[in-house]
Amino acid sequence: MGAVYTNAKYVLCWLGPLSGAEAESTAVLAIDFLRTFNRSPHEHLQKARQHLHSGDDANMTVEDADLLKSWLAVKTLFDVEYFHRAWIIQEVGLAQDARFFWGTQDLWMEWGEVARFCRFLDDNGASVINHLGMKSWVCNHINLVWVTDSSGKPEHSFIEVLHWARVHRSTDPRDFVYALLSHPTAKVDGKLLVEPDYTITTAQAYTQLALRVVETMDTLEILAFVDHHEEPGVLDIPSWVPDWHALNLTAPLRCPTKAANEKSDKSVSILESESGKILRCRGVFVDTLRAISEMIEPSGLIVTTLEKEKQKKIPFLIDHIWRETVIKPEIPLASIGELIVALGLVLTGGYWDTKDSTVGDRQEQQSYDLAALILEYERVRTDRDLDGLFVSLSTEEQELVRSMAIQGSAHQFVQDMTWTSMCRRVFRTAKGHFGLGPRTMKEGDMIVVVQGSKYPLILRRCGLYFRLVGPTLVNGFMNGEASLRCDGGVIFEQNYDII
């Protein structure tokens, strides 16, 4: 089928019928607004922020109401079932020219128009997406599956491609792998990583893929895409094998630097046991988890009014992180500067916009942006609510935060942190390191840096073995520091058998 879509001059896609005049009116408004937005996206995004994030619903103007109506029409577009099916990823992505028809042949738009809108919003308008509960990000994942660099080479590995596609729906869970085998990254040395085989179970298909990736690609990249739920999954698979069928709540971690070399060494091996497939890898123990925040909700990041702040699952997020990881566990903190720099890294993955912010001017700017977010809380507080991070600071530290905030943007920090921190939790280790990790981690879990994995891993002891909880970001261990300490004799490598 991949060749059919690739060779077709046009691929015509029908989004479904429109039930009545009101539905048609909504469809027309959605397409018109999408095209208008694409002509000057920065201007329209700024208007959306001003109107949608004001928090003043009672005094909404006619202009506000019209703008909201337009955005809600676009929201309806991205709720259409068509965009959520797994097989449309190749249907749209491989097409030379894909055109969407909605209801009638007179109402249509090009895939390029939709793709441009979704990509811009994901990159710049995360707060608007989450404020409206809009599913444009699902559609943008089609973009991410097929995006290429200037030379035409795919930007993402096959494992990343599988992740971007896992939010789509498929009646057969094996197709979360098999439906993407037409992607150029599905081949190594001209041969498919796995062949479609509908005689094996879903658990066998997912485990087979993981084994092939580890054995043929000399990397443990696949471990970064493990995302366990609070309740045990229905598939009987090792903890280090991603369940591509399970509901995914997180975006891939990101960081411009690496905790370890992404190429695994000869110490990585697969063992057979009564416990199933065991992944043996060699790594360095970093620390244990001591304190953990609640899970970060992406819809609760923008600060509007005190009333709306108090309605969030986690009001005053940065204050909450400070209380849970500094005050309650009584783990010493050198200064407010230490907190701001550490949270700036782990909440955003070390990116300001799309640029490295782990050092230099961008790191400084990101600190300014976080300071601006902290002061947004003070803007909406009343005297009865003065119990947060800022008021606990000394006069000198408060002045420092104010001077930083003047040069920062709370909106920019929210954009930078949204996808990385979404549905994850901030933690502090016994030695005081800050990090961002899976929602299922627990106090006492271990942080380990292993060769072949760009990100540190959180492991949980299980008798003689370990279970993978998930990947993590750890301030102070994201740029090869574990290897340097190992070379210096401060810490030592050992084998970890993960079941």
In this structure, of 202-216, 251-265, 363-377, the range with the lowest mean pLDDT score is 251-265
pLDDT in tens, 466-495: 999 999 999 999 999 998 888 777 778 999
Query: How confident is residue 58, by pLDDT bands cut at 50, 70 and 90?
Result: low
Over the stretch 266-279, which tens digit does the pLDDT of each residue have? 779 999 888 789 99
- Give the number of other Cβ atoms within 10 Å of residue 6's Cβ: 14
Q: CA-CA distance, 90 to 112, in Å (whole number)?
A: 15
Question: Which pair of structure tokens corresponds to residue 141?
Answer: 């994942």
Integer Cα distance of 337 and 339 in angstroms: 5
Lowest mean pLDDT among 97-106, 162-171, 176-185, 226-235: 226-235
Strands (E), 226-340: 269-273, 276-292
Whole-Å CA distances, 410 to 72, 211, 284, 303, 377: 25, 43, 37, 9, 10
For residue 264, what pLDDT is reported?
78
pLDDT tens digits for range 106-139: 899 999 999 999 999 999 999 999 999 999 999 9
339-365 tens-digit pLDDT:
999 999 999 999 999 999 999 999 999
Q: Is residue 66's pLDDT more than 90?
A: yes
Express as a percent the part of the chain with pLDDT over 70.
Answer: 97
pLDDT range class, residue 419, cuts 50, 70, 90: very high
pLDDT for residue 1: 61
Whole-number pLDDT of residue 87: 82
Burial of 429 from C-beta contacts in 10 A (0-12 / 13-18 / 19+): buried
Q: How far apart are CA 266 and CA 228, in angstroms?
A: 28
Where along the chain do its domains lie?
1-134, 296-422
Contact partners, residue 22, CB within 8 Å, separation at least 6 = none
Which pLDDT band, with edges at 50, 70 and 90, does 247 fall under? confident
For residue 7, pLDDT over 90 is answered with no
The predicted pLDDT at position 10 comes to 82
pLDDT: which is higher, 104 or 73: 73
pLDDT value at residue 55: 63
pLDDT, one tens digit per residue, over 457-466 is: 999 999 999 9
Q: Rounded mean pLDDT of 216-229?
A: 94
pLDDT(196) > 70: yes
**445 residue type, one letter:** D
* 161 within 8 A of 172, measured Cβ to Cβ: no
How large is the average pLDDT for residues 66-71?
95
Mean pLDDT of 231-252: 91
Q: Is the pLDDT of residue 2 over 70?
A: no
Residue 331 clears pLDDT 70, i.e. is over it: yes
The yes-or-no verdict on residue 288 having pLDDT over 70 is yes
Mean model confidence pLDDT for the chain = 93
Q: How big, in percent rounded to 5, are the helix, strand and coil portions of the chain?
A: 45, 15, 35
Predicted confidence (pLDDT) per residue in 142-155, tens digit: 999 999 999 999 99
Mean predicted confidence (pLDDT) in 393-400: 96
Q: How far apart are CA 444 and CA 459, in angstroms?
A: 10
Q: Is the pLDDT of residue 387 over 80?
A: no
Q: Which residues of 130-162 are buried (b: 16+ CB within 10 A; e: fewer)?
A: bbbebbbbbbbbbbbbbbeeeeeebebebbbbb
- Token pair of 82 as six digits: 């068509």
The pLDDT confidence band at residue 92, using thresholds 50, 70 and 90, is: confident
Q: Is the pTM of this model over 0.85?
A: yes
pLDDT confidence of 141, banded at 50, 70, 90? very high
Name the region of 423 (left: φ>0; alpha: ψ -120 to 50; beta: rest): left
pLDDT at residue 297 in the model? 94
| Predicted pLDDT at 56 | 63
